[in-house]
Structure 1
Amino acid sequence: MASIPLLVGLRYTRAKRRNHFISFISLTSMIGMTLGVAVLILVLSVMNGFDRELRQRILGMVPHSAIKNQQDFSDWQSVAEELKEHPRVIGAAPFVNSQGMLMQRGNHRGALVSGILPEWETQVSIIGEHLVGTELTDLQSGEFNIILGDILARFLRVQKGDQVTLLIPEASITPAGVFPRLKRFNVVGTFKVGAELDGNLAYVHLEDMQRLMRMNASVEGIRLQLDDLFQAPSVTRELVNQLGHPYRGQDWTHTQGNLFQAIQMEKRMIGLLLMIIVAVAAFNIVSTLVMVVTDKQSDIAILRTLGATPGTIMRIFMVQGLTIGVIGTLVGVALGILLALNISELVLWVETTLGIQFLDANVYFISYLPSELRWDDVRFITLAALGLSLVSTLYPAWRASRIQPAEALRYD
């Protein structure tokens, strides 16, 4: 008796019904569940890919944490060695930043100019991996060389070998009056990492920046690279408490946190909208089972007269509905995983075949469609789809269990 619901439910699923409309609705529900689950896995994987690229590129350039001194910071080397003793810190480098105006032949644009030590900067930044036509070692002390972001260089219409004028918004008092600080720099190359960094960031040697800012041997602060960027707020607080006054800290969540919060919010909202599509497909099972129950009233009545309980009848139709949901979900999961793992190659093939480019490198910070399949997302989507399928079977199955044999067989 325990196997009757399973056997009869599967038989109803396999049987060729007299009512072809019911069969069509069942097939539509299964296909809708498959497509909904597959698209949900694919879209979330693509958004995970963009999140990964942003994290690697932007947060590879932006320091995870920065320790600054409100007073003189000439002893930064000893402080850097002390900071690197923390188990979470894997790199440290000094810096001097200043907002300035870069000018060349009538073109001008504001930018953040960062003074760095090339031999230290590779510990905390991926800038060395994205240089175009130059090396960090080309930033030599006293030569006043500069490396510009790709978009910034194109806006200023300069290339390697040209010169740009840097204007610092700090006044210099001379016998002729008060003038802003100006300095000519030689462009030795560009870098290209993507997003807004290519349009508003430039690098010079630390000592050149110190001379321009008249800071002697002092620096503005020390950039830190951590083994886990999401631990940056807590690690920064620990280090500031360890160093004490006059040191203060700043982590990446203060400068780039809103961007990543926006990405996470967008991912959740798109996931919710796509889950509604899965829910619509799942609740199509309701209409399928309601019509099947109406079509099988005489069968239900015969089973009741043979001793089947209302619970047995209810389980029969739950098995039938769950079969549709499980098959649709599993096929959708397999299709979604296949697409998520191969979407980059598939889009590249479409671009090559049609001669178009969906992501222009001059507009977007990457020229391909990234994808990162996360098994936690697959597990959640699978369980959610199966749960919705189960819920959608409850009402029709309960309605079937309430059919009275005498009423159903009255006119048969």
Structure 2
Amino acid sequence: MNFPFFIARRYLFSKKSTHVINVISSISVIGVAVATMALVIVLSVFNGFHDLVATLFTSFDPQLKVVPMEGKTAPADDPILTQIRMLPQVDVATETVEDQALAIYDDRQAMVRIKGVDDNFSELSHINDILYGDGSFSLHAANLQYGTVGIRLAQTLGIGAKWDGFMKIYAPQKEGQLDMMNPDAGFVVDSLNSPGVLFAVKQSKYDKNYIITSIAFARNLFGQQGMLSDLEIRLKEGSDLQAVKAEMQKIAGTKYKVLDRFEQQEDTFKIMSIEKLMAYIFLTFILVVACFNIIGSLSMLIIDKKNDVVTLRNLGANDKQITRVFLFEGRMIAVIGAVIGIGLGLLLCWLQQQYGFVRLGDSEGSFIVNAYPVSVHYSDVAIIFVTVIAVGWLAVWYPVRALSKRLLS
């Protein structure tokens, strides 16, 4: 058996001659455990919000999106895009044309994002799952062009799921100069009818700005005949997303970029990742402060065991072994605190998942979810455990060596 470890274990669990040392040792364990528990809970809540946002985007965003590396549009009949469409793993491919426009209904107006899509858009996305109203998702009928409006944009324009008359859509001419004597000539104007439904992704980016319509309407409005903004793709069930994405990117080369759902919302998820990292760093600083209790506990233990040190030396222990006794003592406190903290953190996360004790607000339905979402990623738990052990071990290394030299000499 490791001699220093054996002695350190005896010291940790045995009664000390001075009772306050036991109290300080207990406080050290509690401090490390609380900091560890906080790390588990906070990072799990960030994971919960991350996963929640990801599920909200999946109703609207495609599995994969192919976008031009340069410029806003590309030819729809590009052989590269045709080759990507023909891959055996592709189930549905939809061309889209997307750009800014001005929407006017009665005396209200708003800058909007017109998204023109193919007729198979409902097969590509889960748009039918996020519709509200008595109608159905439709892009056109005969000569009528329909526009499905985001729910918050509908509030801005003062319309419901079904509106009367036409909504005017204005887009600037792509060519020529604006004639200030006749400014209306500088815009392409078209009209949309109501399909009787609105969509609600529950994300401001979409609900406040987007109108979904036919690609023919968008191409005519923006002067993009034969062009597309991106190619949206849904894969067949059982397809390996990352493998297919890599194959598509190989075909696309440097002309196009293939984006998965997370990359399509890169800014959102990058901000969330940075926030999670900052929370981890700040809580690690708190953990470092908690580890100073271990130093205090070890300092008093070293003073208390001065007589024992003489005995250990008489038994043949050298100064290095004696120093390792107290190092093991501090490290065991860190390990015990880490295990207790992780256990408590996982327990509280489970209780929050099951019962939602900590709520986002007093009113039911005020938020997308009523309680703070929690998602435990065991890779985070492993990182937390390693962090606690590393901080605890480093925190006691120098002080123990210094105190040992001064007090045990």
TM-score grouping bracket, smaller chain normalisation: 0.7 to 0.9
SS at match of 1:178: helix
Greater Cα offset, 330-339 or 387-396: 387-396
Q: Does 1:193 align with 2:204?
A: no
1:210 Cα deviation (Å)? 4.5
Partner of 1:37: 36
Matched ranges for 1:59-78 at <5 A: 61-63=60-62, 64-67=64-67, 73=76, 75=77
Shift of 1:283: 3.1
Task: Give the stretch that moved more between structures: 191-200 or 157-166.
Answer: 157-166
What is the correspondence of 1:87-98 to structure 2 with a 5 Å cutoff?
Answer: 91-98=92-99
For the residue of structure 2 that corresponds to 1:168, the secondary structure is strand
Contact 2:84–2:248 (8 Å) recurs in 1: no
Letter in 2 for 1:144: Q
- Kindly indicate whether the alpha-carbon contact (under 8 Å) linking 1:232 and 1:251 is maintained by their aligned counterparts in 2: no
The residue aligned with 1:360 is 366
1:302-317 alignment, distance < 5 Å:
302-317=311-326
Q: Which moved more, 1:191-200 or 1:156-165?
A: 156-165
Matched, 1:379 2:382: yes
Structure 2: how far apart are the matches of 1:52 and 1:34?
A: 27
Equivalent residue in structure 2 for 1:168, among 162, 170, 181: 170
Aligned position for 1:320: 329
For 2:53, the equivalent position in structure 1 comes to: 54
Q: Which residue of 2 aligns with 1:278?
A: 287
Question: For the residues of structure 2 that align with 1:66 and 1:60, how far apart are their CA atoms?
Answer: 18
Q: How does 1:209-220 map to 2 (within 5 A)?
A: 209-210=218-219, 212=221, 219-220=228-229
Alignment of 1:367-406 (within 5 A): 367-399=370-402, 401-402=404-405
Q: What letter corresponds to residue 128 of structure 2 in structure 1?
A: G
TM-score by length of 2: 0.80
Residue matched to 1:410: none
How far residue 213 of structure 1 moved from its aligned partner, in angstroms, is: 5.2
Kindly tell me the number of residue pairs found equivalent between the two proteins. Answer: 390
Letter matched to residue 373 of structure 1: V
Corresponding position of 2:11: 12
Judge which range, 34-43 or 256-265, deviates more. 256-265
> What is the Cα deviation at residue 198 of structure 1?
0.9
Residue 212 of structure 1: how far off its partner (Å): 4.8
TM normalised by structure 1 equals 0.80
Distance of aligned partners of 1:135 and 1:217 in 2 relative to their CA distance in 1, 3 Å threshold: farther
Distance of 1:134 and 1:148 partners within structure 2? 14
AA matched with 2:167 = T
Q: CA RMSD in A?
A: 3.7
SS at match of 1:223: strand
**Structure 1 residue 31: Cα displacement:** 1.0
Equivalent residue, structure 2, for 1:116: 117
Q: Would you say the 8 A contact 2:359–2:371 is kept in 1?
A: no
2:179 corresponds to which residue? none
Residue 238 (1) aligns with residue 250 (2): yes
Question: 2-side partners of 1:220 and 1:14: how far apart?
Answer: 68
Letter of the aligned partner of 1:309 in structure 2? N
Pairwise CA distance, 1:320: 2.2
Change (3 A) 1:120 1:332: same
In structure 2, relative to structure 1, the CA distance for the partners of 1:262 and 1:3 (3 Å cut) is closer
Secondary structure in 2 aligned to 1:50?
helix
CA contact (8 A) 1:318 1:397 kept: yes
Amino acid at match of 1:384: T
Secondary structure of residue in 1 paired with 2:288: helix
In the alignment, the residues of structure 1 paired with residue 338 and residue 387 of structure 2 have an alpha-carbon distance, to the nearest angstrom, of: 10
1:178 lines up with 2:181 in the alignment: no
User: Contact 1:317 / 1:396 at 8 angstroms: preserved in 2?
Assistant: no
Q: Say whether the 8 Å CA contact 1:297–1:403 is kept in structure 2.
A: no
The answer to whether the Cα contact below 8 Å between 1:26 and 1:285 also exists between their aligned partners in 2 is: yes
After TM superposition, give the deviation of residue 140 of structure 1 in Å: 3.4
Offset at residue 219 of structure 1 (A): 4.9
| 1:98/1:403 CA distance change after superposition, 3 Å | closer
> In structure 2, do the counterparts of structure 1 residues 310 and 359 end up closer, same or farther at CA, with 3 Å as the change threshold?
farther
Q: Helix, strand or coil for the counterpart of 2:373?
A: coil
| Distance (whole Å) between structure 2 residues aligned to residue 392 and residue 284 of structure 1 | 10
Cα contact 2:44–2:377 (8 A) shared by 1: yes
Q: How far apart are 1:307 and its partner, in Å? A: 2.6
Q: Distance in 2 between matches of 1:322 and 1:358?
A: 47
Asked if 1 retains the 8 angstrom alpha-carbon contact of 2:147 and 2:213, the reply is: yes
SS at match of 1:307: coil
Which residue number in structure 2 is paired with residue 138 of structure 1? 138
Q: Which residue of 2 aligns with 1:152?
A: 153
**Stretches of structure 2 lacking an aligned partner (at least 5 in a row):** 177-181
Once the two structures are TM-superposed, the CA of residue 166 in structure 1 deviates from its matched residue by: 3.0
Compared CA separation, residues 219 and 386, structure 1 to 2 (3 A): closer
Rounded Cα–Cα distance in structure 2 between residues aligned with 1:323 and 1:250: 49
Residues 345-390 of structure 1, C-alpha deviation per residue, up to 9 Å, x if partnerless?
A: 44x34549xx7159933xxx65542222111111111112112222
Residues 61 and 126 of structure 1 are in contact (CA less than 8 Å); yes or no, is this contact kept in structure 2? yes
CA contact (8 A) 2:105 2:168 kept: no
Q: How many Å separate the matches in 2 of 1:307 and 1:211?
A: 92
Q: CA deviation at 1:59?
A: 6.0
Q: What SS does structure 2 have at the residue aligned with 1:159?
A: coil
State how far apart, in whole Å, the 2-side matches of 1:33 and 1:211 are: 64
Instruction: Give the whole-Å Cα distance in 2 for the aligned partners of 1:359 and 1:299.
Output: 65
Deviations 1:232-251 (A, max 9, x none): 99666534349xxxx75574
Structure 1: 5+ residue stretches without partners: 408-412
Which letter does structure 1 place at the counterpart of 2:201? V
Residue identity opposite 2:250 in structure 1: E
Name the SS for the 2:168 alignment partner.
strand
Distance 1:258 1:236, change over 3 A: farther
